[in-house]
A and B are shown apart, each in its own frame.
Chain A
Amino acid sequence: MSEKFSRRDFLKLAGVGAATTAVLTGCGPASRYVKREPYMQMPEYNYNGQSTYYATTCRECAAGCGLIVRTVQGRAIKTEGNVNNPLNLGKTCARGQATLHGLYNPDRVMDPLKRNSRGGESTEVMDWEAAIQVVADALKNNKPEEIAFLMGMAPDHLFDLATDFANATGINAPVRFGALGMFEARATLSKASENLFGEASLPFFDVGGAQVVFSFGANFLETWLSPVSYTRGFASLRESKTKQRGTFVQFESRMSQTGGKADEWIPLRPGSEALVALAIGRLASESRGGPMPRAFSSVDPLEAASKSGIKLETLEHLAEMFAGSNNALAIPGGAALGQSNGLAVAEAVLALNAISDNFGKPGGVYFSALAPNQAEYQGPASAKEMVELIQKMFDGKIKVLFVHGVNPLFELPTSLEFGGASKYVSQIISFATFPDETVREADYVFPDHHGLESWGYQRVTTGSAQPVLSGAQPVVSPYYNTRATADVLIAAAQLAGGIFAEALPFKDEVEFLQSKAASLMNAADGSISAADINTFMAYFQQHGGYWKLSDARGIPNAVDVLNRNFSAEEAQFEGEGEFFFVPFVSPTLAEAGANKPWLQELPDPTTTVMWNTWVEMNPETAHELGIENDDVVKIISEAGELEVPVYVYPAIRPDTIAMPFGQGHTAYGRYAEQRGVNPADLLGQHFNEAGDLAFAGMKVKIEKTGKKQPLSRLESMMGVYGIGLGEE
């Protein structure tokens, strides 16, 4: 089997050029790689200046947006959204645009490497045969229950392969984790959905169809769940051509990028979200008349007003706004759920939707449509479940840990001690594309291709009304000596023999993908169908995936919601100190964007800071403490301390400070390393009832350091609080 396949044949299989109306088939799984052509040797099909376009799937987050990548002579030049993909309809976010700076990043892992000592710089280059032997030996020489997979939230096809492999061999079921999932509090959302509606599903909020949207901390225009899809929803909420312009109210202690778009921004006291939601529920029910539902009967709006710091008149006005619309929607999310009472907040806010009875209706709450090859919603591991894995590592029950698509040493709070536990694991094998913190602590790194060089698929978990399976294919040939992790596992399993070989009876990754897609080939209501698998896969790649044609969102069964009792208790905050600490995911960098130079140079949407970390502080607080812009302060929590320059931020409560998550890498390439700090270092081991990390459930102290560190910002300092105008 030849690995190199001529580009022309590949095109037949995979091209999405406008002229490709008939898809030619007959290419087997061997048709793997596109060749990168030097400009001197023009491929015959390529005219000077003509581009070739390929459909694939973005891997910068787990949302699964479809991409069309423009390539010229084997080089990826530009990503655009796939207009046909029902999730993103031709749009992308900034991270999707900058994914090319990950592909052509100068600091990728270029070869399989053996690290001579963990944490050290010195490595030896291996060849792939030896690498596969290492994986095969790891499988053979350990008991299955001593082998574990830790995987990221993307890609799904590799997770499916590892799951099948684990099920057949008795290896631990793969654990998935991602910092985005942690900050989104996905486990809390699905648990609240289970408690209220009897189904542990991921709710979908139809922002676009609503008239009034109340968001309690949900940063849905930034990184939350499926930002491109929610941004489209927001645009149609505001669209005033065909209907009345919708109103948006955000409740949060620190104005996020999402909150900046709100018509009314309500800075409530952290921890009082459940109380406020129930109080609004009570006032809205009063305003609508009729018997008071049990859900809201015990809450006292006056108490809510005093505890949350929101004026009673404001609560009444908001309640009337909510009650007065037949199309009102309430969304729980973000920091509001990352508190000790996060589950109660999620339930109380979801219950508000019962007032406008919007379940399963346009502008209301749905269950997200499951992907075409998905039986039930499967969320990533909560932080508490990660603690279980870490405990197993500490106890020496895990001898071999395979890591793919996640960087636990950066993404998990330091206090969970993943680093300490990893010392009890005899062998850590990373499949990372980038030399991140976890790679540095791993014995081996067997680099996977970049997402744009990879086959695969990603299930769309939320954001699209239709079930979508976004398909990925290589748009360029692998730039470095990397190999698909699925291929490595398949080859190692064959080499290990026995049950391992039986568990993965595939020639390669493509054959595995075909086996997974076969059931969709002639399924009803599909966007594509074909008589044989090769034709089907060609269509699958050409269109960038497979989706159902009709709406498959679930309707939550909300019969008894208003007859339940809800907890209005406030959150408990851990640690001593006068400031509530709110970490938030950087809207431009997210969890894994710090290695891409153009993402670093994008100004933060609210502060316009580039290339660094800051802590946001209310101007009045800063004035009282004698702190100015760019003064470095030390933040001390019960779990740790770090130093960071201050950004005096006009839209944050005086008792709250906030810090973006995304920087503070000690590895991860030249653009990320030694830049900023990681707020995860301050987070303690506290969880909400659903097992999600109570990341916004801490109080911290601040000390001045006397140092100054100027932040690079796009906005001019001129006129910011009078600086430069002689009135500071």
Chain B
Amino acid sequence: MDIKISEVKLSEEQAGKWGLVIDQDICTGCQACVAACAMENNLSFVGEEDSGYGRSMHWIRIERFWEGEYPEVKMTPNQPMMCQQCGSAPCEPVCPVFATVHSEAEQLNLQVYNRCVGTRYCANNCPYQVRSFNWRDYERPEPLPNQLNPDVTVRRRGVMEKCTFCIQRIHQAQDQAKAEGREVVDGEFTTACAQACPASAIIFGRVDDPESLVSQLGRRSHGVKHLEELGTLPNVTYFKGG
């Protein structure tokens, strides 16, 4: 066997396109992003019992941990956690039906609902635990469906789903820019979570454009990427704060 090393594209070379920067020092844990995401992306609510089993459909969640014991107890900085849109995503190679694939155009990790057969391998393999599975067809009684966002597919039982970086908004902005014969301007649109955040702790933008706000912030020295040591190349940068 003679594998030519030069032909194997090293994953480190894969550049991201869209990314988030999250400042945990100013995130107050208020859940506005979680609610905004649910409204934008037609997330089902699952009710008390199923949410107790860990089946709630949050595409973004706010983690907080405890340090120390009373009275020296501290809440760790709130940590909004969503799909990190890995450049080398562990969820992708395990899907037997190519339902979770990498987009060449957007450099995002896609979930193709009508391919998904519900093996849940991807959720098992996601080190960030950000994939949620439709265990049932969750009820959404009339007239609640009036609120559904027509730009986002409604998912059924047996399908995996996760944060898409609001790809419908990305496409809309790109279409708009194309129609006007220009490039998408940084800050022209943003994801639902970032738009709602009262503290502006979440910033979205092009990570491959060194001039964008998200790139400028991402260069700050105290930025970290979660579980970077796994080689996942996440596109979300966190500031631990303090």
Q: Which residues of A contact B (CB under 8 A)?
A: 49, 72, 75-81, 88, 90-98, 100-101, 103-106, 221-222, 227-228, 231-232, 234-235, 238-239, 245, 255, 257-258, 260-261, 265, 267, 479, 587-588, 597-603, 605-606, 608, 610-612, 618-620, 650-654, 675, 710-716
B73 contacts A714, C-beta separation under 8 Å: no
Q: Which applies to chain B's interface (DSSP): helix, strand, loop or mixed? A: loop
Identify B201's interface contact among A88, A95, A235, CB under 8 A. Answer: A235
A606 contacts B75, C-beta separation under 8 Å: yes
Q: Which residues of B contact A227 (CB under 8 A)?
A: 30, 198
B56 contacts A94, C-beta separation under 8 Å: no
A234 contacts B47, C-beta separation under 8 Å: no
Identify A93's interface contact among B143, B144, B151, B198, CB under 8 A. Answer: B198
Identify B70's interface contact among A96, A587, A608, A650, CB under 8 A. Answer: A650
Q: Which residues of B contact A602 (CB under 8 A)?
A: 31, 34-35
Q: Which residues of B contact A (CB under 8 A)?
A: 25-26, 28-32, 34-36, 38-40, 43, 45-49, 51-52, 54, 56, 58, 61-64, 66, 69-71, 73-75, 78, 141-151, 192, 195-201, 241-242
A294–B54 CA distance with the chains assembled, in angstroms: 58
Q: Which residues of B contact A79 (CB under 8 A)?
A: 39
A651 contacts B198, C-beta separation under 8 Å: no
A603 to chain B, nearest CB (A): 7
Interface centre among B30, B35, B74 (most CB of A within 10 A): B35
Which 10 A-B pairs have CB atoms at the shortest separation, nearest pair first? A712-B52, A611-B48, A260-B75, A97-B35, A94-B35, A231-B198, A605-B29, A235-B199, A235-B26, A91-B198
A650 contacts B66, C-beta separation under 8 Å: yes
B196 contacts A97, C-beta separation under 8 Å: yes
B30 contacts A605, C-beta separation under 8 Å: yes
Q: Which residues of B contact A606 (CB under 8 A)?
A: 29, 64, 75
A49 contacts B46, C-beta separation under 8 Å: no
A712–B55 CA distance with the chains assembled, in angstroms: 10
Q: Which residues of A contact B147 (CB under 8 A)?
A: 75-77, 100-101, 103-104
Q: Which residues of B contact A711 (CB under 8 A)?
A: 52
Q: Which residues of B contact A101 (CB under 8 A)?
A: 144, 147
Identify A104's interface contact among B143, B150, B192, CB under 8 A. Answer: B143
B28 contacts A234, C-beta separation under 8 Å: yes
A257 contacts B26, C-beta separation under 8 Å: no
CB closest chain-B residue, reference A72? B150
A171 to chain B, nearest CB (A): 37
B31 contacts A78, C-beta separation under 8 Å: no
16 new A-B contacts at CB < 8 Å, known A81-B195, A650-B69:
A93-B32, A104-B147, A231-B28, A234-B26, A235-B199, A261-B28, A587-B31, A598-B43, A602-B34, A603-B31, A605-B30, A606-B29, A610-B51, A714-B54, A714-B58, A716-B54
Q: Which residues of A contact B144 (CB under 8 A)?
A: 101, 104-106, 597
Q: List 11 A-B contacts (CB under 8 A).
A: A78-B192, A94-B32, A97-B38, A105-B144, A222-B30, A231-B199, A232-B198, A588-B31, A598-B38, A608-B64, A650-B70
Q: Which residues of A contact B197 (CB under 8 A)?
A: 91
